[in-house]
C-alpha cells in the first residue's frame, strides 16, 4: 500500500493526549464496586495505610508490592474520585463512592465519569498540566465526541460512528483540535475523506523511555475513553465502531451542557507562572467531579436493557441454561418493577393467583425496611428488600448493604424476610435470593460490618439463584 493511502497526524501538529490507564482496567467494574463499598464504610480520614489494607484485601492482591498498592491508591483516588478532601484534614469517602456503594449502579458511575473528563485536569501531575496549558490545549472529549457523531450522522446515517484509530490520529494526537484551532466539522471532513478512499492509520515513530510505542500504546487513551462511554451506556459498539446510544439522549444532552465547567486553569493561559502554582488542582478537581446531579444520571433499567435489543420481547437469561420473555413495555426504571412481575407470576405458577393483588410496592419514604410485600406458597406474608446491581459485565457478589432500618425489619420478620439481589448486565438478568439474614448471621455463614448500616459479607454460593418469572 502506498503512502497516499495512509494517514498519520502531521508531525508539526503532533501532540498526543494521555490519560492514566488503571492497572485493573480489565477488571475495572469489580474493583470499583469493591472499593466503593470499602471506602464508604469509613467515616473518618482514610490514610495510605488504611487504603493499602483495603486494596490488599481485594482478591488476588495479597502478595502485591508496595509500588502496586501505591499505583492503585493513586488511580482509585485521583483518577476515579472515590475520595475527596475535606478542608485541610485529609481524604474521606467521596459522594461518588457513597452513591456507587448505595445504588450499585456502575452505568451511572461511568456516565458521570466521562462527562467530567477534560484536559488539563486534576488527575494529571502539575508539570503535565503546565505543558498542556503552555501549548494551548483546552479540550473536552465528551462534548467533542458527541458533536462529531452528530455531524457524521447528519452527513450520512451509515457513517455515524467513530473508531479508536480515527479518534486517536485525527483528533487526540492533533493539537489543532485539542487547542480549538480547528473545528469539529474539520475532523468530520478528514474522517469521511479517509473512509471514502480507504485510508489506513499509521503509528508514530516516537520513543517513550527507551522503547518505541506500539500502535496499541498510541491508541490507548482514545480506546479507554470510548470504552468508558460504552460502560456508561452512552455508546454502542459494533465490532470496532462506536455509535451514540440514542436511548440515552436525555443524559447526553445534559452531559453536553455540564461538561467543561472546571475553569480553575483558565487564568494561567498566556501568562507567566510557576508549575507549583498548579498544585491546587487536585483538591479542587475532587470537589468538581463530585458535584453531580444524580437525578439526571440514575440508570433507567428499561433503557439499559433495550440498548442491546430492538425487539418487542427481551430474553432474560438465567443460569445460562433457561430463559424467559419480558415485554419491553413492562420494564420500568426500577428493579422493583421486575420483582413485582416475578412475584405475581410466582403466585400464578403455584396456583395462588388470587393472592396477586397482595403483591405491593412499599415506597422508601414509609421507612418499612423492605421494598415489596408478597406471599409465599404457604399463604404467609413475606417482606422483600430488593438490591439491584447494574453493570456491563458480571460482578462478584459477596456482600450486601442493608440500612439500619432494613436490618431492623430483617430482625423483626425473621424467616419471612428476604433479600432479592437482581443483577442486570448486557448479557444476562439474574435473581439471587437470601432468606432470613439474621439467622444466617447466627449460623456463622455471614460476617457483619456496621459502619452506618449493616454489611453482610459472605461466600457467593450462599445466594440461591432462581428463574425470573417474567
For the chain, 470 residues long, give each residue's pLDDT as a single digit of tens: 345 689 989 999 999 999 988 889 999 999 999 999 989 888 788 888 888 888 998 988 988 898 888 888 888 887 898 988 776 667 889 999 999 999 999 999 999 999 999 999 998 999 999 999 999 999 999 999 999 999 999 999 999 999 999 999 999 999 999 999 999 999 999 999 999 999 999 877 665 554 456 666 889 999 999 999 999 999 999 999 999 999 999 999 999 999 999 999 999 999 999 999 998 887 888 889 999 999 999 998 888 888 866 555 555 443 333 445 555 555 556 788 889 988 998 999 999 999 999 999 998 888 899 999 999 999 999 999 999 999 998 888 788 889 889 999 999 999 999 999 999 888 778 899 999 999 999 999 998 876 556 778 888 888 888 888 76
Helix axes 220-231, 141-155, angle to 10 degrees: 80
Continuous segment of H or E residues that includes residue 237: strand 235-238
- C-alpha to C-alpha distances, 103 to 84, 174, 249, 398, nearest whole angstrom: 19, 39, 22, 16
What is the per-residue DSSP string for 303-320?
HHHHTT--SSEEEEEETT
Residues 6+ apart with CB under 8 A from 248: 111, 233, 234, 303, 307
Sign of CA dihedral 56, 57, 61, 63: positive
Three-state DSSP state, 19: coil
pLDDT in tens, 160-189: 999 999 999 999 999 999 999 999 999 999
* Strand segments (E) across 328-416: 360-361, 372-375, 381-390, 399-402
The whole-angstrom distance between residue 370's C-alpha and the CA centroid of its chain comes to 26
Cα 101–105–107 angle (5° rounding)?
A: 140
Q: What is the pLDDT of residues 27-82, one digit of tens each?
A: 999 999 999 998 988 878 888 888 888 899 898 898 889 888 888 888 888 789 89
> What is the torsion angle, in degrees rounded to the nearest 10, for the CA atoms of residue 274, residue 276, residue 280 and residue 286?
110
Amino acid at each position: 500500500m502506498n503512502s497516499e493511502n495512509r494517514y498519520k497526524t502531521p508531525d508539526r501538529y503532533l501532540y498526543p493526549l494521555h490519560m492514566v490507564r488503571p492497572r485493573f482496567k480489565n477488571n475495572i467494574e469489580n474493583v470499583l464496586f469493591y472499593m466503593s463499598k470499602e471506602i464508604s464504610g469509613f467515616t473518618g480520614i482514610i490514610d495510605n495505610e488504611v487504603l493499602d489494607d483495603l486494596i490488599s484485601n481485594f482478591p488476588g492482591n495479597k502478595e502485591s508490592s508496595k509500588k502496586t498498592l501505591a499505583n492503585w491508591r493513586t488511580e482509585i483516588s485521583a483518577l476515579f474520585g472515590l475520595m475527596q478532601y475535606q478542608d485541610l484534614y485529609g481524604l474521606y469517602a467521596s459522594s461518588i463512592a457513597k452513591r456507587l456503594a448505595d445504588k450499585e449502579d456502575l452505568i451511572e458511575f461511568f456516565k458521570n465519569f466521562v462527562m467530567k473528563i477534560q484536559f488539563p485536569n486534576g488527575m494529571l501531575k502539575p508539570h503535565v498540566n503546565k505543558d498542556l496549558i503552555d501549548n494551548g490545549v483546552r479540550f473536552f472529549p465528551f462534548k467533542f465526541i458527541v458533536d462529531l457523531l452528530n455531524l457524521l450522522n447528519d452527513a450520512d446515517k451509515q457513517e455515524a460512528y467513530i473508531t479508536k484509530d480515527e479518534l486517536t490520529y485525527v483528533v487526540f494526537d492533533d493539537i489543532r483540535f485539542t487547542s480549538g484551532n480547528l473545528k469539529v466539522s474539520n475532523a468530520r471532513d478528514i474522517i469521511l475523506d479517509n473512509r471514502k478512499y480507504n485510508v489506513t492509520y499509521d503509528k508514530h515513530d516516537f520513543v517513550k523511555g527507551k522503547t518505541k510505542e506500539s500502535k496499541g500504546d498510541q491508541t490507548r487513551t482514545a480506546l479507554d475513553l470510548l470504552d468508558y462511554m460504552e460502560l456508561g451506556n452512552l455508546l454502542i459498539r459494533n465490532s470496532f465502531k462506536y455509535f451514540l446510544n440514542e436511548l440515552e439522549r436525555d443524559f447526553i444532552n445534559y452531559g453536553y451542557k455540564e461538561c467543561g465547567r472546571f475553569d480553575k486553569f483558565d487564568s494561567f493561559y498566556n501568562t507567566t507562572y510557576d508549575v507549583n502554582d498548579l498544585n491546587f488542582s487536585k483538591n479542587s478537581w475532587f470537589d468538581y467531579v463530585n458535584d453531580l446531579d444524580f437525578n439526571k444520571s440514575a440508570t433507567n433499567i428499561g433503557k439499559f436493557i433495550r440498548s442491546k435489543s430492538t425487539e418487542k420481547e427481551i430474553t432474560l437469561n438465567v443460569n445460562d441454561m433457561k430463559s424467559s420473555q419480558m415485554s419491553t413495555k413492562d420494564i420500568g426504571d426500577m428493579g422493583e418493577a421486575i420483582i413485582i412481575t416475578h412475584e405475581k407470576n410466582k403466585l400464578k405458577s403455584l396456583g395462588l393467583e388470587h393472592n396477586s393483588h397482595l403483591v405491593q410496592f412499599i415506597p422508601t419514604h414509609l421507612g418499612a425496611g423492605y421494598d415489596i410485600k408478597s406471599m409465599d406458597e404457604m399463604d404467609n406474608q413475606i417482606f422483600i428488600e430488593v438490591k439491584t446491581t447494574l453493570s456491563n459485565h458480571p460482578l462478584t457478589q459477596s456482600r450486601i448493604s442493608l440500612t439500619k432500618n432494613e436490618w431492623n425489619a430483617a430482625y423483626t420478620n425473621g424467616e419471612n424476610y428476604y433479600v432479592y439481589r437482581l443483577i442486570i448486565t448486557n448479557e444476562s438478568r439474574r435473581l439471587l435470593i437470601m432468606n432470613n439474614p439474621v439467622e444466617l448471621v447466627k449460623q456463622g455463614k455471614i460476617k457483619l460490618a456496621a459502619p452506618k448500616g449493616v454489611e453482610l459479607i459472605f461466600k457467593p454460593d450462599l445466594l440461591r439463584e432462581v428463574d425470573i418469572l417474567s
